[in-house]
Amino acid sequence: MWQGECTHSLHLRSEIPVGSRRTLILIGAIVIGGLAAFLTMNYVKGVESESADKNQMVTVLVAAGPVAKGSPADEALASQSIRTAQRRRSELPASAVVRPEDISGQVAAVDFGGGEVITSMMFLPVQELTGSKGSSIDEGNVAITIMVEPDAGVAGLIQPGDSINIMALAPVAPGGEGTRTESLSKAAPDASTPWTLGQPYVYAFQDVKVLGVGKNLGTPVAAPATAPGAEPAPAAAPATDTNLITVQIPADQAPLLISLRGAGLYLTLNRPDYEAAPIPFVSSLPSFSGEEGRSPYPAASAEAVAPAGSAGATGQ
């Protein structure tokens, strides 16, 4: 009997570990199977996402017809020779152009037959394509440089592409034996000795296009990307000769501008929408707006200029 009990006890001890091992193996198999299913699902989703990204339709610029080398991009865009179209992302070349603004003001660097996707290297600034800075001058004009003092040149705020007015001391008075018009004068309120100002100025030229400031003819082309591990190119030094302003002007008016070199030139910076209009020469000193207690701005814009709550803003 004792021997039977021992045999039964040994049999139970041998069965318990075997059952535990089977349970652990089953749990491990379930975990591994779940992990494999999770990884497989993520892989499939990644492939599907990559495929969807490659097949995504993107709006880009394409050549709809022949465009000759040197043709202005703005003309090609206006004539629809270059237009926007949908293309699959996977079919696009590197640096494809997606906005018309990215090539505006540039010219075609190659000939187009039609159907090409436009890239950033297919259009370049005209001076970069031709190698001549004169290419930036509008037809019928010449470039000429004037020198002004910093305070007469809007403190160096003028940039290439700006519109400016050029003022000069009033011309020689008829019969004045080479002397300029007399200084502006005005009698004091008590009719005593009049007080005078400097010689009057006149608007000699209006809405003149600025080509360059110093030796800068505009925004330089972006520097190429620096290779990994290479030292970045040093930044260009800011221009220090901002008193040299190069403008474009019709050839027949260039001698007139040159004749004003000693006339104390003074510049004004215009808004982009500025339009030239007659401005009479003032030979007698008028009343200053400050004397009359009014703003120098037109009444229509006084409310926009005056701070909120001020007398100008309320019309009082």
Kindly report, residue by residue over 110-163, the tens digit of the pLDDT: 999 988 999 989 998 877 777 777 878 888 999 999 999 988 999 989 999 999
State both tokens at 71: 């043709």
Pairing of strands 244-250, 141-147: antiparallel
pLDDT over 90 (residue 278): yes
Q: Which helix (H) or strand (E) holds 65?
A: none
pLDDT over 60 (residue 251): yes
pLDDT over 60 (residue 217): yes
pLDDT class of 300 with cuts at 50, 70, 90: very low
- Separation CA 210–CA 246 (nearest Å): 6
Domains along the sequence of the chain with CATH:
57-130 (3.90.1210.10), 137-219+240-285 (no CATH)
CB contact at 8 A, 111 and 69? yes
pTM of the model: 0.53
CB contact at 8 A, 156 and 150? yes
Amino acid (1-letter code) at residue 167: M
Q: What is the mean pLDDT of the chain?
A: 77
Mean pLDDT of 1-29: 61
Three-state DSSP state, 118: coil
- The pLDDT of residue 243: 87
Amino acid (1-letter code) at residue 179: T
Share of the chain above pLDDT 90, in %: 32
CB contact at 8 A, 108 and 80? no
State the DSSP code for 99: -
State the DSSP code for 247: E
Residues in the chain: 316
- The pLDDT of residue 262: 84
pLDDT in tens, 92-101: 888 899 999 9
